[in-house]
């Protein structure tokens, strides 16, 4: 009888240990931007739920597997939110640049409000626009041809 209890605990410990390893593997792959591996490992975890050969472990297996799925769910949700925030920010940036072109850069002069000489406002605007280029956001400038000429 004692042998069966020990065997049960050892097997349970192996299952728990393996599920913790898989959870860590999912997290590691996600942090390394390896979404495919993260998803493959998660599918492995989900398939463990179909294993009914060890019914005595199933409640523990279910809790640990759903914990892994919940973790993946949270990571995917955060990524979707980040993408949505970036898209909204990009829309706002393009709208702002379009406003600068349509309002502030009209006229025959090379500078703000059609002036023929630069002002402090011109210098400030050039600094702001160049920050976009330094950050690698050159698509914003390429869409707005007048701004490229301005800089």
Rounded to an integer, the average pLDDT of 141-150 is 58
Among 9-18, 36-45, 131-140, which stretch is predicted with the lowest mean pLDDT? 131-140
88 contacts 71 by C-beta, under 8 angstroms:
no
pLDDT digits (tens, 9 = 90+) for 80-107: 877 777 777 777 777 877 777 777 777 7
Torsion of CA 18, 21, 23, 29, to 10 degrees: -140
Report the pLDDT value the prediction gives residue 149, as an integer from 0 to 100.
Answer: 62
pLDDT digits (tens, 9 = 90+) for 45-56: 888 888 777 778
């Amino acid at each position: 009888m004692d042998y069966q209890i020990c065997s049960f605990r050892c097997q349970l410990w192996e299952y728990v240990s393996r599920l913790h390893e898989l959870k860590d593997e999912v997290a590691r792959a996600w942090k390394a931007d390896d979404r495919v591996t993260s998803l493959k490992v998660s599918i492995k975890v989900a398939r463990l739920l179909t294993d009914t050969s060890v019914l005595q472990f199933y409640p523990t297996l279910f809790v640990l597997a759903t914990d892994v799925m919940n973790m993946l769910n949270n990571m995917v949700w955060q990524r979707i939110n980040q993408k949505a925030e970036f898209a909204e920010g990009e829309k706002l940036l393009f709208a702002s640049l379009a406003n600068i072109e349509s309002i502030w850069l009209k006229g025959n002069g090379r500078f703000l409000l059609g002036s023929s000489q630069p002002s402090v406002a011109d210098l400030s605007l050039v600094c702001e626009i160049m920050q976009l280029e330094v950050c690698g956001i050159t698509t914003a400038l390429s869409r707005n041809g007048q701004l490229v000429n301005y800089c």
